[in-house]
């Protein structure tokens, strides 16, 4: 399911909006536009005139767009530093709980990781500072006509500073959690450091869910009032808990594959089928060989693509009799779907996850010929066995 749309590209990085981000935008627009009418009174003439609805929504929309850009700048800062260290950035996606910069390979080097992690909060503090300065500037002008602008600028300043401090909490998956892991990783193995930082993250998520529900911290900081029952914090905490768990699992997965090469996991038999094979025959072959993924080769042995049982499942009985392998072949990209047998197995897994593929062809580094296949299924089984080895 397509849940996000690309809205542009900055310094070569695709920028995507997740549909949940729209909730935040509309939340900000609605929140501003429906502030008490007194906040929008322009003091002209007797008692002043009230700002009309159109102008209110216009102003709130500006606030929402500005907020979008500050969030984007936060993520771009992470990305910029990561790119300086040679990491490829696949894109930035803005979700309802913030942004995520998808990086090819977050460096396991602690000195790089903490610098990438800290760049975002530093940007948010700088932006927040600028907005707050602007707020005090407007305030000293003391023109009531600017009151709505004042509120807008103050809120943006507050949100950015809050975002920075929130992100500096040393709990995964917040930026502070990454800084914390980098700190630990200088003193212990990467996996152990991750597990500790994740544990802190999980504890924090639970505290936030419960604490935030009992006392809404934003309202408390801004007004000193104690408001109970803010559902946003348990909701946000749930996302953070899941993200922390995922980080832990990914790290466990990838560190279990350390030192394992593609050639150790690849399959060298039951690897290919000819492109003119009828689908019925292929299904029989799959049953016989208990294999669900094949490379498809032409008559002269050239790799044409892949076929897996997933494609066959979608076909009707009639289609299975009528069609050939070449009719339902998976389009294939040599750059990302052929991997050298000397490459790390973890890299193969990453590529399959990134391209949503279940199989890659393995080539001999010297001759360039296809020597086997590596599949998600085989990798998963291999990793299970590695775990069993203790
Ligand atoms: Zn960040």
List pLDDT tens digits, range 18-35: 888 888 788 878 877 776
Angle of CA points 33, 34, 35, to nearest 5° = 100
- 10 shares its domain with 90: yes
Give the pLDDT of residue 384: 82
91-105, 168-182, 199-213: least confident range: 91-105
- Residue 216 near residue 224 (C-beta atoms within 8 A): no
Query: Average pLDDT in the 205-233 region?
Result: 83
- 138 shares its domain with 243: yes
* Residue 236 lies in domain: 4-256
- 155 shares its domain with 201: yes
- 186 shares its domain with 112: yes
- 235 shares its domain with 308: no
* DSSP codes, 232-265: HHHHHHHHHHHHHHHHHHHHHHHHHTTT-BHHHH
- 247 shares its domain with 366: no
Give the pLDDT of residue 301: 78
- 382 shares its domain with 247: no
Number of domains in the chain: 2
Task: State in Å: Cα 350 to ligand 1 middle.
Answer: 22
List pLDDT tens digits, range 373-387: 898 888 888 888 877
User: For residue 71, which of 123, 18, 142 has the smallest C-alpha distance?
Assistant: 123
CA 337/CA 332 separation, integer angstroms: 7
Task: State in Å: Cα 168 to ligand 1 middle.
Answer: 9
- 74 shares its domain with 207: yes
- 244 shares its domain with 268: no
In this model, does residue 36 exceed pLDDT 70? no
| Mean pLDDT of all residues belonging to the chain | 84
In this model, does residue 196 exceed pLDDT 60? yes
CA 376/CA 212 separation, integer angstroms: 40
CA 150/CA 140 separation, integer angstroms: 11
- 196 shares its domain with 226: yes
Task: State in Å: Cα 78 to ligand 1 middle.
Answer: 7
Mark which of 256, 284, 319 sits at the end of a domain: 256
Task: State in Å: Cα 117 to ligand 1 middle.
Answer: 6
Task: State in Å: Cα 123 to ligand 1 middle.
Answer: 9
CA 38/CA 35 separation, integer angstroms: 8
Query: Average pLDDT in the 84-113 region?
Result: 79
Mark which of 256, 272, 288 sits at the end of a domain: 256
Task: State in Å: Cα 295 to ligand 1 middle.
Answer: 41
Query: Average pLDDT in the 70-90 region?
Result: 89
- 149 shares its domain with 49: yes
In this model, does residue 323 exceed pLDDT 80? yes
- The single residue of 39, 50, 75, 289 carrying the catalytic annotation is 75
Task: State in Å: Cα 75 to ligand 1 middle.
Answer: 6
Known catalytic residue: 75? yes
Q: Domain holding 326: CATH number?
A: 3.10.580.10
Task: State in Å: Cα 119 to ligand 1 middle.
Answer: 8
- 283 shares its domain with 209: no
Q: What is the dihedral of CA 77, 83, 87, 91, to 10 degrees?
A: 60
CA 229/CA 162 separation, integer angstroms: 20
Mark which of 235, 256, 277 sits at the end of a domain: 256
Give the pLDDT of residue 38: 54
């Amino acid at each position: 399911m397509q849940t996000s749309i690309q809205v542009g590209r900055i310094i070569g990085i695709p920028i995507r909006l997740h549909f949940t981000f729209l909730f935040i935008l509309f939340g900000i627009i609605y929140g501003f536009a429906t502030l008490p009418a007194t906040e929008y009174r322009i003091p002209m003439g007797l008692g002043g005139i009230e700002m009309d609805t159109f102008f209110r929504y216009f102003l709130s929309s500006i606030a929402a767009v500005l907020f979008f850009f500050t969030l984007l700048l936060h993520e771009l800062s992470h990305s910029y530093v990561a790119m300086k260290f040679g990491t490829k950035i696949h894109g930035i996606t803005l979700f309802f709980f913030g942004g995520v910069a998808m990086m090819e390979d977050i460096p396991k080097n602690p000195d790089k990781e903490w610098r990438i992690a800290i760049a975002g909060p530093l940007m948010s503090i700088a932006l927040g500072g600028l907005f707050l300065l602007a707020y005090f500037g407007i305030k000293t002008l003391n023109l009531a006509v600017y009151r709505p602008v004042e509120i807008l600028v103050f809120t943006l300043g507050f949100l950015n500073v809050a975002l920075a401090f929130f992100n500096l909490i040393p709990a995964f998956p917040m930026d502070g959690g990454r800084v914390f892991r980098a700190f630990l990783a200088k003193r212990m193995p990467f996996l152990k450091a991750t597990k500790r930082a994740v544990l802190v993250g999980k504890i924090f998520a639970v505290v936030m869910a419960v604490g935030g529900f009992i006392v809404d911290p934003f309202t408390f900081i801004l007004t000193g009032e104690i408001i109970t029952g803010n559902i946003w914090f348990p909701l946000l905490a749930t996302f953070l808990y899941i993200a922390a768990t995922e980080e832990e699992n990914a790290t466990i997965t990838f560190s279990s594959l350390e030192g394992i090469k593609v050639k150790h996991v690849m399959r060298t038999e039951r690897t290919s089928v000819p492109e003119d094979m009828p689908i019925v025959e292929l299904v029989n072959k799959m049953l016989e060989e208990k294999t669900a993924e094949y490379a498809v080769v032409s008559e002269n042995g050239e790799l044409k693509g892949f076929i897996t049982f997933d494609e066959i499942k979608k076909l009707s009985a009639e289609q299975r009799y009528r069609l050939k392998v070449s009719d339902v072949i998976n389009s294939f990209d040599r750059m990302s779907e052929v991997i050298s047998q000397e490459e790390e197995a973890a890299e193969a897994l990453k590529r399959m996850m990134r391209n949503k593929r279940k199989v890659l062809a393995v080539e001999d580094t010297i001759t360039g010929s296809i020597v086997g296949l590596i599949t998600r299924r085989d990798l998963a089984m291999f990793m299970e066995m590695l775990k069993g080895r203790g």
